[in-house]
Structures are given as structure tokens and as C-alpha cells.
Structure 1
Amino acid sequence: MSCRVIHLLLICGLLLDSSDSAIVTADNFTAAVNCSDLDLRCKFTSDNTETELYLTWTDPSGHQIYRMDFQSNNYTFGEGFEFAISKNNEFTTGDITFPKANVTKEMAGPYVCTFVTNATSVSATASIDVQYRPSTIYFSVRPPLDTIENADLVLTCHTTVSNPGAPIVFSWSGPGTITGTSQVLTVSRVKRTATGPYRCTGKTTLIPTRGINCIFSQSTHASITVFYHDSPTVSVSEVNPKENSAFVITCQTKSLPAASLSATRNNHSIQNGVRDNTTNMAIYKVQKVSCGHSGIYKCTSFNAKTKTTLTRQKTVNVLCKPRMHRTSSRTRTLKINQVARFEVTVVAYPSPNFSWFQLDSNGNHQRLQPNAAVSSSSLSSVLTINITSPEDYAIYTVVSNNSQGQADIANFTLKSDVKPFRIEKLSIVNTSVDSVFVQWLSPFDGGTTQTFSLQFASERDYSRSIWSTRHENLSDPGRYQNVTGGILDLYPGRTYFMRIVSTNSRGFVTSSVVNVTTVGLPGDQNGSTGAGIGIGIGICIFIALIALLAWFIYRHRIKPIRGKAETPDVRYANAAVHATTEETTRPSGSGKREDDGNETNPPDTSNATNTEDVNYESLSVNRSGFKPYDRIALKPNPELGKVYKSNTNRDKTASHYENLQPKTQDGKTTDTAETQKKKKKVRRKKESEYANFKSKQPTESNYMNVHPKGKA
């Protein structure tokens, strides 16, 4: 009702006043959302001759929001605003007011006020500006919210669309002393201390045409994480722990997020550790440290966010005596004039000394030969040998020591790949009516196991290079050891040639040849002389006939038998060959014994020509036969019976000597009665002597192979 009253009063006032012409004006206005009202003001006037018809307001979209009809005093208006018309002496004002609660940013724009009379229609436009703050404030981060230490951190504060009366004022706050007063905050080479919440604040000032200014403050925040990764640290309980003591190594780092830790020793992973992912720590424990735990310990940490892998290492040396780490080939097979090289590497701390030795046959340390040289470094040593003689083929050992102790590190063997060396001297030590014993000095075996075989030949066979072998594969007692062997079951008074064949895997060699004549039977010479005297000069022609008959018998009977007996069967297979249990006593001035049992000059036994002077530990003999065993107890040789059985009927008497048999022709005796009587007497005598001789010989069970002390 008040609005209608106001309109009536205004209309009445208009009718009372008039002007020369119709004029209309509209004022521009600035409003602020949630801060001020929005006013639309229109001023108009007309002369007295015109009739005022109506007044209208049109919004920016062209819709009529208000109409006042002066003739009918009716008005039409929309919602959300108030209107008022007032009159003064100069003009009439038609105002529309939108309260601040209804002011929106969409209301900005041109508003048109139109005044219509019966004569004319005039309009005026009011430009309305509506200020408003941003609806939202936010910021962006480059790189993203999770950044890496030492990278440049750039934060930008953003706002949504706004129409402030003055520029928005930004301010920043962050961890520590980080601040900023611009829209963009830049932190160069950001540090891990910059991790935390960041806040951006924007202040918007709205300045309306009427009323007080309005200031709005808006802010946003976010948490920034700075990832970092430090090199790990390596700490040990002791840098030089003693062997068998406890040992602890600790790997630790500073990392966000927690790093993955691992440890290695000499690039080999260590598994017995405890990792703590919350404290970036890994602990590795060894209850009893050994020499093998020496080396370079390396800790490695990996950060999944920074994609970095960092390592740190520490050298640990365990105090321990030397022990072998690795060696070259332990066995070398080379020839003379070649070069052998042996190398050994040890684990030890502190650095050790090395000593090389050559071992003798008893395993004792001997000095190296002059042709051997040693070169050593901190943990390794090399032995170089220029092979010049058999004495170089031996076992070598290296000994290493330091302040923690001494140890025999390794043995190395230098072998040869040649045939055995030749036996240069073969000595006769005993002969009897049917046996010969020889002795020789065992030579260098060529680097592999050698065996000996005893060969002999009669004069006729020797001329035809036919040799018979006895005692094959006799064992070698060792270099420079005396070996004794014999041949039994020979013919009395015969000359034989003897030699030794040395054999190894590379081949064989033969020794020098000696000849020896067996002892003739007792009475051979007297019997022949007595027969010649008995026959006399008067029967020389008869003797010639007898000799012719004897030649005939010998040609057809005796010679075939003896031809078979030139290589008689072995009666005692290995029984007659034996080696002295100790090395022959060396005469003064003999060669010096080297470390491996070799001699620079082998002992000389060439002067031992008198068999009575030869010393045997297992058998003492003279030219009349064997003496009983009185030095050592002999054991039966099971191999004897294999050959002996086929010879049990040989040589039991002397009757096989055909020269003592009666001469016969066509089954009848051609000897005279006197000759037969003499032959029978001589034959009985020889048979008795031979039986007595055989009773004094060693039996089958007494014979065996006797080796010297030491390895065969």
C-alpha cells in the first residue's frame, strides 16, 4: 500500500510541474556480492505541453523488470527489489534497489531506463558492475606434491573467476621460515626440512559505489613431502678382529622412504643379517670370524622414490695365520731342460713370508737346488725350477708364516715322462756250481714306477742274442737302493752273461752286461786225469775209438738234452732275488745325498770283487755254498710252488752228467771192465758229493723277495 501511495504522490507532483522538454538520465553503479545493495537510478523531466505516459526499466537481457503507468496509476514489477519515485524542483527520480542478499554476479550489465510521453520517448542506460570474490582458491606444485631433495620446488596459488575491486593479495607460509607474498612461491634446491604443510592465502577486496569496502580472505593448504637418500655408513665392531672372535658389521643410512639395505663381502651376498626398515639399518653378525671373513665389506641402499642406489665400503682384515686360497696345478710332468712353475696364493693377515723346500724320501725339508728360484708378493709366491737333472724330480712344499702363526700350505710334485735311467754297473756278488747272484744300484725311475727283470744267456745264446728272463716285474726299492738278484739251476762250470731290464710306463732300458762262470763240481779235473793215466799209452788207439763213440752218443743223446737245459726251468722263481733292507754303506768320499734321496755320485761297488767281503743282511755266502740264515727271519713266498712243482725231479743226483755213464752201442757196453769199474767208482763219489752239497743248500721255503726298508 505504501508503494501505491508513493506513486500517487509522485504522479500528483508531476502533474503540478512541467519542463520545456522530456529528458531522462541513468547513473552507473558498482555493487558487490554479499557486500552492498545494487541501485538503479533514473532521472527524467518533461515540459508542460506533454503528457507523461509511463516509465520502464529493462535488464541486460532485455526483459522489462519494472513499468509505471502514470495515466492509470498502475505499475508492474518483478521480485527481489524495491522501487521508489521521488520528485523535486528539477526532475523526478525513479529508483530500483536490489538488497545485497539478492545481488549476484549475473546481475551486472547495462540497464535501460525509458521515459515515454505523448510526444516523445527518451531512454538512458545505466552500466552496472557487480564485484565478487573467487569461489575457490587452490595451488599447484611443480614437481608434484612428492618431490626430491635438491630439486627446485615451485608452488602457484590459483583462484577461480572473480571480479575484485582490487588485485588479490597472496601470501604463503610453509615449514620453517618459508614465506611468500606473490602468487608463485619458488623454493630453490629444496631440502628435506621443507617437508610439511604449505598454506596459500588470497585476500580479495570488493569496493561498491555505495557503502563500505568488503575484504574476503581465502586459503588452501597441502602437505609437501621431500624425499631424500643419503649414502650408507658402514661400521664394524673391529677393523682387525682376531680369528674365532665375534664380529658385527652395521649398515645404516638416512632415507625417506626407508631404503632397502643389503651387504656383500668381496661381492658375495651376506645373508645372516637383521634389517630394520623403519630405521634404515641392517646388522650382520658372525659368531666366530675366520680368515676367510677378510675382505671388502660393501653396504648398498636403494630408495624406490628417488630411484637412487648408493654404496659405501670398508676393508676388514682378520688377524689369522696363513692358509691356502688357491694354487696352480699341484703336479707337473716335464722333461729335462724344461721349466716348471708352481704358484700358491694364501689368505692371511698380516702379509706372510714364504719358504719353499724340497722333500727327501723321508719327507724332511731340504734346501732347494741352485737351479730353483722363488718370487713372492704380499699373498702369493711362485717357485720356478729349471730342470737339469733327475734330482729335480721331487716333491716340493711351501711354508708360510706371519705374526699369527705358521702353516704348511701345499705340496707340489714334479714328475718326469722319460724311460728309466740305465743301470751302469752290475756286480757279481756270489757264484756257486748252479747259481749266480748279482747286485745293482736302483737308478732314477724316470718319474713313474719302474720294475726290474733279470735276464741271462749261455755263451751260445749270447752269440745269437737270445736272452732268457727270470724274476719279471721286481719292485723298485727306491733310488740309490741296492738290489740283489740271482739265477738258480745253472750248469756247473759254464759261462753265462747277465743283464737287468728296467721298465716303466714310458718304455724300458737294459743295463750293462756282465759274464760269470759257475763253479765246477768237485773232482771233475782229478777224475779225468785218473782215467787218462789208467788207460795208459798202450790203449791210445782204443781211447780214440771210445772218444769217437762218446762223440756219437753226445751228438745224438746228450746234446739234445742239454739244448733244452740251456734255459733251465726256474726252480726257485723269486726266491733268489732279494734287496738289502738298508742302503749299502757308502765309502768315504762318496757322493752327497740330496734332499730327495738322490746322490750326485752313486756309491761305487766296483771293488767288491771278493765275495767273502760282500755284506748281506739276508744271506751270507762263500764260494763253497750258502751259509744258514742268521740275519733276518725269512717268510715263505707263496709264488715259489707254482714253478717248483715241475722241477722236483731235476738235479737230485749227479747221474745226469752223461760223461759218467757207461758207453754203449746197440744196447751193449763198449767199456772194458776196468773202465766200467773206474767210472762207477767216480760216479758214486760224485753222487755222494753232490748229495752232500745239495743238503746244505737253502730249501724252497727259505727263498723270498726281500726288499730294503722303505717303499718298494
Structure 2
Amino acid sequence: MRRTNVCDGFQAFVWNAMAALCFIGFQSTCGMTAEGNREKVRCVVNSNAVPAPTITWYLGSRDITSKVGTDTTSITLTGNRTDNTKTLECRATNNNRPLMTASLTLNVEFYWTKVDNSGFRQNGATLRLLNIQRNSSGTYRCTAENNYSNGEKGTASQSVVVNVLYPPTFDTLSQRDVIEERNISITCTATPGNPSFTFWWTKVDNPGFIENGATIQLSNIQRNNSGTYRCTAENNYSNGKKGTDSQLTVVNVQYPPTIKTLSQQNIVERGHLSFTCKAIPGNPSSTTVYWTKVDNSGFRQNGATLELYNIQRNSYGTYRCTAENNYSNGEKGTVSQPMVVNVLYQPTIEKRSLQIVNESEEITLIRDIGSNPLSNASWYDGKQMLKTEISVKTATLTIENTMCTDTKNYTLVVSNGIGNTVTAMVDLIVNCKPMPDTMYIILGVTCTTRIEFSTTLMAYPEPFLELQYENGTKNDQMKINITEIKVNNFSIRIRQDGFEENNFGVYHLRASNNFGETTVIVNVIKQRKPDIPRNITVTCKVTGAIVQWISSFNGGSTQNFTVITLSGQDGTSIYLGLNDKGENEIHVTYQGNLKPSVTYCFFVSAKNSHGSSLSKAISCTTVKETTSSLTGVFAGGVVGALVLVTIILILVFFVHRRYTFMYKCCE
């Protein structure tokens, strides 16, 4: 910056009035004037000059008398630097006397000094300060001197203040790193300018952002607040211009990586799970990813991919994918997402010892089931399903009023769609008094055979057996043998070699344990013909019939059955033989080769070596196959009925004659 100053804007004139020859001289109010200022100069003539002299004025060679007023003895001059070093003359004459002249030579020497710097001096009327700096500010003095004829100096000076205007100067701002959601305060400092200044902040990429003051406050800072901020300082110069300086600083908002929500992973046991956790880098972008397990502090797997080989059910749980970056202050930016690994596996059924309960008490059979997902459980008694439970961890079966027959192996079948169906046997034993399969045994024997019979009973624990005569005394002739068929089921076999007439009669078989006693009546009789079969039912079809009955006592000898079918239409008969399955057993047979729409009469005969017994007749009409005329049906029905009645009468007589026997023993 260049500044030129001529005596602070003034050109000074110093006139040294030399002694006028004879009686003429100059008179001035001061010896210097500022450029542009008006200064009055008088030409003084001795007062006794008569007549009054005529006065003319010259500046250099130029006549300037025209500039005087009515009073020619004085002239008013305007200061002008171009007049410096020129001669101002006042010429006076009267009565044509010789011209008298008084002159003033404007021969002035100028120089500049600085009040606060004794070493500063610059010659010349013009002060030149090139590339002016702020330390050039201060008070400068312009001094004008001329030399009087007597050797003295005429001196005058004026001061001028040079006020160097300059902008503030900033201290350097460095990058500021801040962690997201925290607060940051940045203050910019500057060396003051001249005149005083103000601060404000702006953001380079956001024209709408402005904040006044030297300090910017950013609270709960977010990642979108990152960027370059400018702090500006400004002052206003006296000439209307502005002094401006600014500094940039980068606000670097550091934040952790981001992981998207992780979904549950279902994997079948012994399978291989490979899952990659995708992390979006934060700031800084360098990211470390690793896996941990919530319930296992010792588990850590580095890298974004979780690998679980031959996975087992104990691998089930919540795994956490963690992504980290390192902030500039030494802290870490950390984010994590949980992921459930759901190991699917087939059921396993808890093993327990058998349960024992007293008869008539309530019992609940319980088995815990380990499975994922939960299992459906079904309880079976043999092939009969007792109960089904849906999606359970524990299977239960309650028997409210236990009986001896509840002693058995129950089957628990469990499945959940993973792997195979699992089966377990659940054992239950009911403590109960002996319970025979029959309370009354008829034993038919001959005089030549030995006594031998068997029966079964249920009891737990194993019962004590004793055979007594009807009068209560113990029978030592018959030998009792007990065999365990299963845990609460026993076979009782009684045998006596040799037989006497007095062995016929009633015996008491007493069975007892800690939970009670039961007596079975055994009636030993002479062998005879079988008892009549009972509970006979017939179901007719189109060309056949299903015949069912229950066997009775066989008379003490092996019996066989014969189903007799008589046609009510033509009197024909059909015989169908069947072996005995045992006393009180259901027997079923199918009689074929029958005609449709015919009424038949059915008998069941039981026969052994001592005779036979015939059941009552059961009639049944086979199903019609085709429709016949009403007349034919009616006639056939009447005739068939008559024939059937006749056949029945004949059959009854015939059977009675044929199957009547006399039983004799020990003849």
C-alpha cells in the first residue's frame, strides 16, 4: 500500500520579510500557510511617504496586482505548491521617484520525521510509505525550513497521524474429530485488526448455516454435521471497505459401523451353519467384525462369517455379531446385532425307573421330552391310543383309579417332524390283591384219570397259594405250582396223581399277598356231556350267515362244535364243524352256500366223549337278491315255514335220541 502525504495535505509557504530599502517592508500574519488556505500579506511603506505610493505585486515575473482589493498595500494569496521557490515582490513608487522593491523568495526545505522513531527521516515535501505495514502507524511530522539572510532558519511544522488499517489475522485451526451424539465447541482466535472486528461461522456445503461469534457450539452432533466450517473475522475501514480474514477447519464426526437386523437361523442338528454378517463401515471406515455367544463368554470367532460345523443342540442360543472401528481419541465405535441360532433336533424321552402305585390310588406317568421344535406325544396301551398331547415339553398320562389290570408297559410315541419318531416304554406296577381270571372252576374227571387243572390270576407282589377242603382244612394231596407269566400275571397249575371216589367235591383255592386275599371255588365232578353253548347270534347275508356263540363248560372232556343249518324252503341241512377254543370264549364262523330270501334255522351243538348238548334254534332270513311276485313270495313263505317247523320237530327228536347218554363211573 502506498501513501503520499504532503505536509499532511498542506503546502507551506514561509516568507522572510527582508528589510526594505529605505522605507518599504513585508508584513504577514505568519510565515507559512497550508496549501489551499488563503493568507493575507501586506507591503509596509513608511508612513511619512508623500504622496502615497503606488504599489504593484509580482509573483515571479507574473503581475498579480489585479488580485488585490481597494487596498493595494495588501494581497491575499491562496497556498499552492507550484508557487514554492518563487519570488513574491512588492514594488512601490511616488512622484516618479525611483521604484522601491521588497521581495520574498519562497525557497523552502521540507522533511518528514516520525514521533516514535528518532531514526526516521524522509526528505521532501511528500511522505511516501510503500507497502505500508501495520507497524507504520503513528504520528509523522512535516517540517518546513528556509534560511534567513542573517543565517538563521525560519522553521514551521505540522503533525499528521498515519493510521494503518489492516484486517485481523487468524491463528491456524486444525481438524476436529468428534464422536457422534457428543458435543463439540470450537473457538477461533485471531490477532486483532484495526479497527476492531467481529467473528462468524459458516459451513462450506450449507449456504444456510451461519452462527455469529468466535465460538461454534454443536450439540448432540450427528454424522451429517461432518464437513468444512469457515470462521471469518471482519472489520470496517474508514474508507468504507472491509478487512477480512478466515480460516477453515474440518469437523470429522466419527461414528460406528452399522449392521442390519439379523434374522433367526434354523438349522438341523449335525448340520453346517455358515452365516455372514454384513457391516456397513462407519467413520473411520476400517472395520473389525467378530462373533460372540451371549451365554458363553469363552466363545469368539473373528471375521464376518459365523461357521458352525456338525452343529449340536448345545450350540443353540443367541450369537452376537459385533463391528468395531477405532476413533482418533483411542475409543472404539461399536455396534452389534443379536442372532438366534435355533438348532432343530428330534425328540429324546427321559428315562425313569418304573413307577409303583397301590390299587385304587391315582397315578400320573410323566416323561420329559427334549426336542426342538416341541413334540406331539401319544400314549398307547398296546395298539389302543389313550391320549395325545400337542407341542409339549412334558408328556403326562393320569390314571385316576388304578386297578391291577393297569400294570403294564405303556408306550409313549413322540415326534416333531425332525428325524425319526421316538418310542419309549413306560412301566407301571399296581400293588393289588390277587385277582383270578375266574372265581369258579368246574373240573370234570373220570375214575381212571388224575386231577390236573390250571388257571391264571393277577397280583402284585406274587401271591401265596393254599388249597383247602370245603371245611377249611389244608389239602396236601394236590400239588400247586405257580409260574410268573409277567410281572403281575401268574399261571397256577394244580395236580394230583391218582384219584379216589372221595376226591369229588368242592375245594377252596386261597391266594393272598400284602394287599388282600381271594378265594377260587374248585368243584371236582365226574365228567359229563358239555353244557349248552350260549349267547348265540346269527347275521344273515345274501348267500350266507355269520354265526357267533360263547362256549360253556366242556363237561370235563374235550368238546367240539357243530353248526347245523336247516332250510325252511326245502328242508335241506348243512353241518359245519369247529374246534373248541376254551371255556367262555367267543366263537365265530361263516356258513355259506345259502340261498337268498330263504328263512333258515340255526343250531349250535357241543359234543364230547360223554354226549352232546344242542342250543335253541335261531331263525334268520337271507337277504333278497331279486324282486319276485307277491304271490310267489307269499306261497313260498307259507310252504317254507311249514317245512321248517316240521324239520325242527324231527331234528329235535333225532338229536335227543342220538345225543342222550348214561354216565357211569367206576363200574
Q: Flag whether TM exceeds 0.5 (same fold).
A: no
Could you say which structure has the higher helix fraction?
Answer: 1
Larger Rg: 2
Q: TM-score w.r.t. structure 1 length?
A: 0.41
Could you say which structure has the higher strand fraction?
Answer: 2
Bigger relative CO (Cα 8 Å, ≥ 6 apart): 1
